[in-house]
Structure 1
Amino acid sequence: MTAISVSNLSKRYGKTRALDNVSIDVQLGEMVALIGASGSGKSTLIRHIAGLEAGDGETGKVVVLGQVSQTAGRLMRGRTAGRVAVIFQQFNLVGRLSVLTNVLIGNLGRVPRWRGTLGLFSRSEKEKAETALARVGIPQVATQRSSTLSGGQQQRAAIARTLVQEAEILIADEPISALDPSSARRVMDVLATINTQDNITVLVSLHQVEYARRYCKRTIAMRDGRVVYDGPSTSLSNTFLAELYGDASEELVLPESPAELLRALPVRPNSHDPVHMLA
């Protein structure tokens, strides 16, 4: 089954054409990078795939896990509830609650509403949340208020919440853009690990192409609301990016040379590795 299928999707905000007849497919189990300079349409496309916005016109269609989530400008809500998780640059944790409670919120789609409202989670649910925190490398912060965590830790807690949710697709919108390089690598490690070990489909929007080259076999590049490249990440040389984006390509390339960056980045885990624990 195709995990995500977008066909002929367009969106306009006033005079700005944010999406221009976009069509992409993401297969089950893939980890795909979505790149583009500011204003290219990445976040708009992600919001449409996540069911947060509806496209324009009568031809646009989004199918997620075999279910039509929007068509002809209408959202079909509830079709993939719980099966798709979205994480954002802002983390979206409740700062006054403990990290463990924030992770437990991933259960809300499966437990009775009254239990979720009162925060009454079972021992097995709490153990599952603790295991999720261990998998993303931050078991020691379970009892801390989430507001006390660093940005990288908060993003990993948000990913742990998706593990508790048991989502089949994880959509990440610029999850590392606000993080320092060390924290960004840890977050990308976590995404790569759950992709390979749990077969969770990952679509990750990235502002820096080096991470796409390192962690994703396939990259979709957008410019001015259109898909301008869809293929192997290894083909995205700096020269090719300059051809695609002109001066805007400087937004997508880290100041380090590719060789220096690759030495700094950890080796991506594969499906035969043990559970990847992160410090």
Structure 2
Amino acid sequence: MIAISVSNLSKRYGKTRALDNVTIEVQRGEMVALIGASGSGKSTLIRHIAGLEAGDGEAGRVVVLEQVSQTAGRLMRGRPAGRVAVIFQQFNLVGRLSVLTNVLIGNLGRVPRWRGTLGLFSRSEKEKAENALSRVGIPSVAAQRSSTLSGGQQQRAAIARTLVQEAEILIADEPISALDPSSARRVMDVLATINTQDNITILVSLHQVEYARRYCKRTIAMRDGRIVYDGPSTSLSNAFLAELYGDASEELVLPESPAEPLPARPFRSSGPQPVHMLA
């Protein structure tokens, strides 16, 4: 089953072409990295896949979990919003509320609106939220205000919320760019674990290439709103990445050889073969 299908998607902001006829497919159960320099179109593509924005023109089309999310420049009603979770660099937790309450918010799409508004959750719902916090490694902070957590803990709480939401697709827009290396590894470990154990499809935008190499079997690279590489992460050469990132490559690409990928269950992809289109 194809989890995400994007075909001929374009988007322009004034004179800037943010997306230029983008076509990709992500299979169900894949964990795919999306890389590229700032301004390459990663976040714009993520917003369109998440149903937060519509593309331009008649040709563009996004299908998520076999439901048309947008076509002909229009967002469609009934798109599978509850089955798709999005986490951002900013964590998006309510600082004055407890961590547990923030995680419980993942239930809002499935409980009556009045219960959600009043914050009335059942014992089983609270147990589910507590279990989600245990799975991401922070069960002891459930009663704390979320504003007291470190950045890495807040991001793991945001991931726990997606587990409560029972999302089938998790889209992460640079979830580790503001974290120190230790916290970043913990967050990526959590994402890799839920991908393997829960078969959650993950598309993660990464600014740091080494994490793509280590955690994702497949990487999609963007430049100037176009897909310039789609293939195995282990085939990303430092020479290619230096050309992709330009002057920023010294900070974003380590000089060592690519790291061995973490063990993961095999996947089959019927998507496009590796392409090299840098020019």
Q: Structure 1 length normalisation: TM-score?
A: 0.91
SS of residue matched to 2:114:
helix
Provide structure 1 residue ranges, at least 5 long, that are not aligned to the other structure.
none
> Following the alignment from structure 1 to structure 2, what is the Cα–Cα distance between the partners of residues 28 and 19?
24
> Following the alignment from structure 2 to structure 1, what is the Cα–Cα distance between the partners of residues 267 and 72?
43
> Does structure 2 conserve the Cα–Cα contact (< 8 Å) formed by 1:89 and 1:177?
yes
Query: How many pairs were matched up?
Result: 279
- Over 3 Å counting, the alpha-carbon distance change for 1:150 and 1:243 in structure 2 is same
> Following the alignment from structure 1 to structure 2, what is the Cα–Cα distance between the partners of residues 178 and 91?
10
> Following the alignment from structure 2 to structure 1, what is the Cα–Cα distance between the partners of residues 275 and 128?
15
> Does structure 1 conserve the Cα–Cα contact (< 8 Å) formed by 2:244 and 2:278?
no
> Does structure 2 conserve the Cα–Cα contact (< 8 Å) formed by 1:196 and 1:270?
no
> Following the alignment from structure 1 to structure 2, what is the Cα–Cα distance between the partners of residues 117 and 278?
50
- Over 3 Å counting, the alpha-carbon distance change for 1:130 and 1:182 in structure 2 is same
- Over 3 Å counting, the alpha-carbon distance change for 1:276 and 1:170 in structure 2 is farther
Give 1:253 shift.
1.2
- Over 3 Å counting, the alpha-carbon distance change for 1:270 and 1:92 in structure 2 is farther
> Following the alignment from structure 1 to structure 2, what is the Cα–Cα distance between the partners of residues 71 and 80?
14
- Over 3 Å counting, the alpha-carbon distance change for 1:273 and 1:55 in structure 2 is closer
CA deviations over 1:48-97 (Å, ceiling 9, x no partner): 00000000011000000000000010001332021000000000000000
Give 1:222 shift.
0.2
> Following the alignment from structure 1 to structure 2, what is the Cα–Cα distance between the partners of residues 277 and 262?
28
SS of residue matched to 2:62:
strand
> Following the alignment from structure 2 to structure 1, what is the Cα–Cα distance between the partners of residues 270 and 151?
26
> Does structure 1 conserve the Cα–Cα contact (< 8 Å) formed by 2:29 and 2:195?
yes
> Does structure 2 conserve the Cα–Cα contact (< 8 Å) formed by 1:137 and 1:278?
no
Provide structure 2 residue ranges, at least 5 long, that are not aligned to the other structure.
none
> Does structure 2 conserve the Cα–Cα contact (< 8 Å) formed by 1:197 and 1:271?
no
Give 1:245 shift.
3.7
Percent identical residues = 91
Give 1:38 shift.
0.6
> Does structure 2 conserve the Cα–Cα contact (< 8 Å) formed by 1:46 and 1:173?
yes
- Over 3 Å counting, the alpha-carbon distance change for 1:242 and 1:44 in structure 2 is same
CA RMSD of aligned residues (A): 7.0
Give 1:254 shift.
4.1
Deviates more, 1:238-247 or 1:197-206: 238-247
Give 1:240 shift.
1.9
- Over 3 Å counting, the alpha-carbon distance change for 1:269 and 1:91 in structure 2 is farther
> Following the alignment from structure 2 to structure 1, what is the Cα–Cα distance between the partners of residues 140 and 255?
34
> Following the alignment from structure 1 to structure 2, what is the Cα–Cα distance between the partners of residues 133 and 185?
17
> Does structure 2 conserve the Cα–Cα contact (< 8 Å) formed by 1:193 and 1:276?
no
Give 1:142 shift.
0.1
Give 1:252 shift.
2.8
> Does structure 1 conserve the Cα–Cα contact (< 8 Å) formed by 2:213 and 2:258?
no
Question: What corresponds to 1:150 in structure 2?
Answer: 150
CA deviations over 1:98-120 (Å, ceiling 9, x no partner): 00000000000000000000000
Q: Structure 2 length normalisation: TM-score?
A: 0.91
> Does structure 2 conserve the Cα–Cα contact (< 8 Å) formed by 1:173 and 1:204?
yes
> Does structure 2 conserve the Cα–Cα contact (< 8 Å) formed by 1:19 and 1:41?
yes
CA deviations over 1:209-252 (Å, ceiling 9, x no partner): 10000000000000000000000000112112123343343353
> Does structure 2 conserve the Cα–Cα contact (< 8 Å) formed by 1:136 and 1:156?
yes
Deviates more, 1:148-157 or 1:68-77: 68-77
> Does structure 1 conserve the Cα–Cα contact (< 8 Å) formed by 2:69 and 2:79?
yes
> Following the alignment from structure 1 to structure 2, what is the Cα–Cα distance between the partners of residues 50 and 176?
19
> Following the alignment from structure 2 to structure 1, what is the Cα–Cα distance between the partners of residues 274 and 141?
22
- Over 3 Å counting, the alpha-carbon distance change for 1:61 and 1:143 in structure 2 is same
CA deviations over 1:127-164 (Å, ceiling 9, x no partner): 00000000000000000000000000000000000000
> Following the alignment from structure 1 to structure 2, what is the Cα–Cα distance between the partners of residues 153 and 276?
37
> Does structure 1 conserve the Cα–Cα contact (< 8 Å) formed by 2:26 and 2:271?
no
> Does structure 2 conserve the Cα–Cα contact (< 8 Å) formed by 1:218 and 1:230?
yes
